[in-house]
Structure formats: C-alpha cells, structure tokens
Structure 1
C-alpha cells in the first residue's frame, strides 16, 4: 500500500507513467528540486516526514517504502 502511494507520487512528480519500483530516481531524470516536492507530498499524503538525506540514499520506490514501513512499525 505504501509502495503504491510512493509510486503514484513519483509518477506525478517525475511525469512518468511507467517505471519499476526498483528503478533509481536519478536514472529516471530526478533531481533535488523534484525530490523536495516528493518529500512534501509524502508528508502531505502519508503523514510521515522522511529526511532528505534518506530520500537521496534510498533512491528507489522500494527502498523508500521499506524505510517508511520500518519507521511506522517502530512508532
């Protein structure tokens, strides 16, 4: 469920319809301004803040989703 939401956010912000959850954000044409928009959207739509450094280190939908799921489980 979280992966689907993250995928939808990426799709909207990157203006891409088709990509894999294991595709790298930067290889898809992403850059820091788009990542800032994604960070805001995650907070707005999922209610959790992912630090920017984590978004850059975990640069796939799969990795970010796993990070969020772990954070929610720990809370």
Structure 2
C-alpha cells in the first residue's frame, strides 16, 4: 500500500460516512438528511471549523472554509471531497 497515493483507499462510502459523523458530532444530533443544508438544520459558522478539522484529520485533507459554504450538505461536501481525492489533491 506504500506505493498508492494518499487517499487511494478512501471510497465514496468512507468519505460520506466521515463527513456525516463529523456533522453529527458538531451538531449534537443525527436527525437530518444527507441533502439538508447545514445552515437550515441549525448549523452555524462556529461549528464549521470543528467539522472541517474532524473531516480533515480523519481523511488526511486540508479543506478550505469556502468549500463548506459552496457545498453545505453532507452529500455535496462528500462528492466534492471524493472528486478532489480522485485527482490526487490533498489540499482540496
């Protein structure tokens, strides 16, 4: 596995599960749909740093703050991160 690019084993399911877990940790609840907008379900800007830090640490990525605002759903952010991982970007 040493010859593989970082993130090569990160499947769509792993990325999405990681993003969702970090949202649940930050929001302190799990009763939301993966297409719900973060801000519509009670999320706020102070929680974004926690989510991005958690996702980044678990997946080995640096995620710009604007990516969250551009992709404010679990599915949207997951797809964006997976696309970035697929092309070998570690700094999304």
TM-score by length of 2: 0.77
Q: What's the counterpart of residue 14 of structure 1?
A: 27
Matched, 1:58 2:84: no
Q: What's the counterpart of residue 60 of structure 2?
A: 47
Runs (5+) with no aligned partner, structure 2: 1-12
Instruction: Flag as ranges the 4+ runs of structure 1 deviating above 6 A.
Output: none
Aligned length: 75
Larger radius of gyration: 2
Q: CA–CA distance in 2 between the matches of 1:49 and 1:55? A: 12
Q: What's the counterpart of residue 80 of structure 2?
A: 67
